Structure 1
Amino acid sequence: MTLTTWELLSYIVTVVALPFAIGVFLFEQRKAHENEEEATWQQISDAYIDFLEVVLANPDLKLRSQRATPDLSDEQRERMLVIFDMLISLFERAYLLLFDTQMNEKRRRRWHSWEDYMREWSQREDFRQRLPELLRGEDPDFAHYLQRLAKEEAR
C-alpha cells in the first residue's frame, strides 16, 4: 500500500466511519438511558403494588374509601399513620426519580399515572388532614406539589 492509499483510507474513516461510530455510540447511550428509566419506573410501580398489599392486609381501616374512617382505636390510628407514612415515602421517591418540568411524552404519561395515585389518595379526608404532619421533613418541592394536588382534590 502506498502512502496515497493510506491517506485516502484515513479520509474515508474520518468522513464516514468516525461520524457513523459516534452516531452508534449516541444511539446506544440513549437506549441505555431509556432502559434505565424503564427499570426505575418498574421498580417504583412494583413498590406501589407492594403498598397496596399492605392496604389489603388492613381492611378494618377502610383505606380505599374517600371518607375518613370513623371511630378508630388508638392501635388502628397508629397503623393508619404508618401506612400513610409509607405512602408519602413512595410518592416522594416517585417524584424525585420520575418528575421533571420538561418531560418527553413517554415520561409525561408515566408521571400522570403517579399523579393520578396522588390525587386519588388526596381525595381521602383524613389523608389530607394529616398531610402537614406527613410532609414534615420531606423534599420541599414534593411537599408543595402534593399539597397543591390535595387542595385541588378537596374542592
Structure 2
Amino acid sequence: MLNLETWEFLSYVVTVVGLPLAIFVFLWEQRRERLAEEEELHQRLSNAYTDFLKLLLDNADLHLLRQRAEPPVLSEEQEERRFLLFGILISIFEQAYVMVHEARMSHQRQRLWQNWADYMEEWCARADFRAALPELLRGEDPEFADYLRRMAASAQTKQP
C-alpha cells in the first residue's frame, strides 16, 4: 500500500503538473470552439450571399451581375425587383457587419471581415445601388448605416 508521504507527493504532482495542464487544455478547447463558431458563421453568411447571387442570376434582366458605366433603363416592375434585391443585399451586409465587424478584430476575424468589406465596396461602386441607399438604410443598425454611407461616399469620389 501507499504510505502518507507517497500520497502527499502525488498530490503535489497533481497540483504542480495536472492543474496547469488542465487549465491549458480547457483554454485550448475554448479557442478551438471559438474558431469553429467563427468559421460556421462565415459559412452561413457565405451561403446567404451565394443564395443572393442565385437570385441575381434568376433576375438577369436587371443587369446586376456586372457593373456598367451607365445603369440600364428599367421598367417600373424591374426597378421594384431591383430595389427588393438591394434590400436583401443590405440585410445580408448588415448581418455580416453586426456579427463579424468589431473595433479590435483578431487576425482570423479580420480576414473574414475583409471579404465582406470587399463585397460592400464592390456594390457601393454602383451608382444605382448608391442612389437607393438612403431609403434602404432607413431603420438599419446605425453603426452599419454610417459605415456603408462612408463606403458609398468613398466609392463615389473614386468614380471617373
- Common topology (TM > 0.5): yes
Structure 2 residue 97 is matched with structure 1 residue 95: yes
Shift of 1:70: 3.5
Identity, in percent, stands at 53
Q: Deviations over 1:97-121 (max 9, x none)?
A: 1111111222112211110100100
Asked if structure 2 preserves the Cα contact closer than 8 Å seen for 1:123 and 1:153, the reply is yes
Q: Which residue of 1 aligns with 2:80?
A: 78
Q: Which residue of 2 aligns with 1:36?
A: 37
The separation in 2 between residues aligned to 1:5 and 1:112, in whole angstroms, is 57
Asked if structure 2 preserves the Cα contact closer than 8 Å seen for 1:66 and 1:125, the reply is no
Name which of 109, 127, 142 aligns with 1:107.
109
TM normalised by structure 2 equals 0.93
Q: Which residue of 2 aligns with 1:6?
A: 7
* Stretches of structure 2 lacking an aligned partner (at least 5 in a row): none
Q: Which residue of 1 aligns with 2:59?
A: 58
Change (3 A) 1:68 1:83: farther
Q: Which residue of 2 aligns with 1:128?
A: 130
Asked if structure 1 preserves the Cα contact closer than 8 Å seen for 2:125 and 2:156, the reply is yes
Change (3 A) 1:32 1:99: same
Judge which range, 64-73 or 23-32, deviates more: 64-73
Structure 2 residue 19 is matched with structure 1 residue 18: yes
Shift of 1:69: 3.0
Q: Which residue of 1 aligns with 2:144?
A: 142
Q: Which secondary structure state, in structure 2, belongs to the residue aligned with residue 91 of structure 1?
A: helix
Of structures 1 and 2, the one scoring higher in RCO (CA 8 A, sep 6+) is 1
The separation in 1 between residues aligned to 2:121 and 2:68, in whole angstroms, is 11
- Tell me the amino acid that sits aligned with residue 91 of structure 2: S
TM normalised by structure 1 equals 0.96
* Stretches of structure 1 lacking an aligned partner (at least 5 in a row): none
Q: Which residue of 2 aligns with 1:49?
A: 50
